[in-house]
Structure 1
């Protein structure tokens, strides 16, 4: 018989997310805080060193504005906006490093405890962890890599094909950018073309790392909250099957876990509150501008079609996770009511169950900016608003 794997700490269980957070220098490890501060300062120096490139982008956008060239303005903003958002995540994670570390410590604490539980609870944990590893980690990483790396891969493929099979090859940039106050064709001459091409490959890698780590961490955190709910509901059922003298103590233990779960959700809310608000606004604009570029741009562009698909998935997943948590929290009231409390005559236990049910009937929501609840209704609303903005742009 194959030996079951033991439950391990956060960084050992979710290695891909840990790697992405570490490479992006946003892993909340107190021992590396001084290095993360140095890295942020180093990043500021790097951004300052590419100020001529950033200035060229804004100058080009200004020229496009004067020429009523909305297509190129949207093209620039679609690519530059998310990259700057990745740098903002670095600052935001440093600001919320204590809360993020507490989330990881809580996940590690629970995982290690699962090793001493019975097989019934281990199966609940395995199913939840497998779901997180499959969707919040692996498939999310594949989605980000596919959406982002389409730009450099297509540019490399087109350059290779043109230089191999054409006598007068055409050069393709990852993101086309005109040099200010120069001829348009100068951007395809050496060494400008090669230097910018390599730099944009680096930007793509940084984009991938930031979005895999930070956004994936949110999904893992929500899924673990759902595991905690299933665990204490199962523990309550078993408590009522115990000896009469043990029931009260075991129910109190379940209540402590329930309170711990609510504190854990508050940590998630505090850690990702600002980020959820930013992606709500940014993704709505992103979907709108990508659709406009695809339909009104210079011919069909597969890269932006894939990119808009990624943007939809990017806002769908937080809404889906938050909706899952909301539904699960409401289901726990039914599970607690059906746990078998009527078989116990101890009035203390019955009063505790009333309070447990009343607490679970209060809807658990993950909000953006502390006021905008994330759920599937919000996802539909975002798509409708994006389409309304898109039709306004077209008119």
Structure 2
């Protein structure tokens, strides 16, 4: 039996197949880190519980409201005091929290779009088991790239999210061992309106520390789920494009009669149209997220550079934050660039296929149509404002440095 999970419906479609062991499984079974991240971050695309997930989102915001209120008050306080160092330190954390709040709400409200993308990936992965050995080997290469992207977004958020409570804990351990009058370290230092004079006293300090740590932990699965799914989905699109070229090449090289050639070319044309439609779905769903990533990472890098400039040393927390921000921008640029590259390669592969060996007008016309469609670049953008490629990454690095020099000169 072949099992096809349908995201968000609770349905499982089973089809008769041979009894041999399947090399490729569904999305949930293959990309477990990403799936768990979506589940625990409340963005798993299940349209049957959208209201419950929305209520849970509101409940989480309510539970963390003391930290959010203190954060807003601190920003106002630092602005009034013209304290640029603490303001940028606060904004560096605040825009990450803002990105999290946006992503969760966005995924809940766009469950149908997200579900369609993951369903396409999952069903296609199971269908690969019915392909020939050459196609299976091709998909195996793309699967490794997808798993690498998943692994990056499983580790990077953990390092970034836990650095705050871990650093605070290390500082307090050092204080208690080496100093007669140890001081306490907050997870993130800020002005707390309702506990301004007693925030370092027990049990207020412990309560705030636990709430702040919980807030850091809540952020981790979200990045693993949504950001990881982008790497997986774009890699899958790359396979779909590469598979079209593989089908056309095999059709002209292996077919012995016109009927078989027409059948294979018709299948290749359908696969190409599905790949183009999948590209449109990716752009439609991930576009706002890509724009948010561009804004957040650019600001984060500049803010952390400014903080290290003020203290005149490489602080571990700020260095790690800046490196994580750079990777947060670099990884989507790489995977988006791969999509554009595979789209360009498809045009070359179609032209280089042995179509001139077959004197078949219908098959040649199919190649011409696919070749014309392949001429349009497959570019992923942030709502049409920023184009994601490696040039964007270089531009962001230059713009960030320019912004850094601007704020350091004021």
TM-score (norm 2): 0.90
- Name the CA distance, whole Å, in 2 between partners of 1:41 and 1:367: 30
Q: Is the 8 A contact 1:292 1:390 kept in 2?
A: yes
Asked if residue 147 in structure 1 is aligned to residue 160 in structure 2, the reply is yes
Deviation of 1:84 after TM superposition, in Å, equals 2.2
Deviation of 1:180 after TM superposition, in Å, equals 3.6
Aligned to 2:32: 15
Deviation of 1:65 after TM superposition, in Å, equals 2.1
* Aligned counterpart for 1:160 among listed residues 173, 177, 188: 173
Q: Is the 8 A contact 1:149 1:204 kept in 2?
A: yes
Deviating above 4 A after TM superposition, structure 1's stretches of 4 or more consecutive aligned residues are 181-184
Aligned to 2:336: 322
Deviation of 1:176 after TM superposition, in Å, equals 1.0
| SS of residue in 1 equivalent to 2:199 | helix
Aligned to 2:43: 26
Deviation of 1:147 after TM superposition, in Å, equals 2.2
**Counterpart mapping for 1:285-364 below 5 A:** 285-297=299-311, 299-364=313-378
For structure 1, which runs of at least 5 residues remain unmatched after alignment? Answer: none
Deviation of 1:375 after TM superposition, in Å, equals 0.8
Aligned to 1:383: 397
Aligned to 1:42: 59
- Name the CA distance, whole Å, in 2 between partners of 1:279 and 1:328: 23
* Aligned counterpart for 1:64 among listed residues 56, 66, 78: 78
Aligned Cα root-mean-square deviation (Å): 1.8
Q: What is the count of residue pairs matched by the alignment?
A: 388
Aligned to 2:379: 365
- Name the CA distance, whole Å, in 2 between partners of 1:366 and 1:326: 8
Aligned to 1:266: 280
- Name the CA distance, whole Å, in 2 between partners of 1:232 and 1:181: 62
Moved more, 56-65 or 276-285: 56-65
* Aligned counterpart for 1:119 among listed residues 133, 152, 157: 133
Deviation of 1:296 after TM superposition, in Å, equals 1.2
- Name the CA distance, whole Å, in 1 between partners of 2:118 and 2:139: 16
Q: Is the 8 A contact 2:175 2:183 kept in 1?
A: yes
Aligned to 1:172: 185
Aligned to 1:253: 267
Asked if residue 130 in structure 1 is aligned to residue 144 in structure 2, the reply is yes
- CA distances 1:148-187 after superposition (whole Å, capped 9, x unpaired): 2122111112222322443322211111123348766x33
TM-score (norm 1): 0.94
Q: Is the 8 A contact 1:177 1:187 kept in 2?
A: no
- Name the CA distance, whole Å, in 2 between partners of 1:121 and 1:98: 30
- Name the CA distance, whole Å, in 2 between partners of 1:163 and 1:211: 34
- Name the CA distance, whole Å, in 1 between partners of 2:81 and 2:115: 49
Q: Is the 8 A contact 1:148 1:307 kept in 2?
A: no
- Name the CA distance, whole Å, in 1 between partners of 2:331 and 2:152: 11
- CA distances 1:93-150 after superposition (whole Å, capped 9, x unpaired): 11221111111111111111111111111111111112111x2111222122112212
- Name the CA distance, whole Å, in 2 between partners of 1:121 and 1:182: 63
For structure 2, which runs of at least 5 residues remain unmatched after alignment? Answer: 1-19
Q: Is the 8 A contact 1:7 1:114 kept in 2?
A: yes
Q: Is the 8 A contact 1:222 1:325 kept in 2?
A: yes
- Name the CA distance, whole Å, in 1 between partners of 2:201 and 2:308: 28
Deviation of 1:333 after TM superposition, in Å, equals 0.8
Q: 1:15 to 1:183 in 2, by over 3 A?
A: closer
Moved more, 307-316 or 236-245: 236-245
| SS of residue in 2 equivalent to 1:6 | coil
Asked if residue 233 in structure 1 is aligned to residue 245 in structure 2, the reply is yes
* Aligned counterpart for 1:218 among listed residues 220, 230, 246: 230
- CA distances 1:279-335 after superposition (whole Å, capped 9, x unpaired): 212221111111101111475421111001100110111111111110110011111
Q: 1:145 to 1:62 in 2, by over 3 A?
A: same
Q: 1:338 to 1:200 in 2, by over 3 A?
A: same
Aligned to 1:88: 102
Deviation of 1:372 after TM superposition, in Å, equals 2.5
Deviation of 1:66 after TM superposition, in Å, equals 2.5
Deviation of 1:69 after TM superposition, in Å, equals 1.1
Q: 1:226 to 1:30 in 2, by over 3 A?
A: same
Q: Is the 8 A contact 1:71 1:297 kept in 2?
A: no
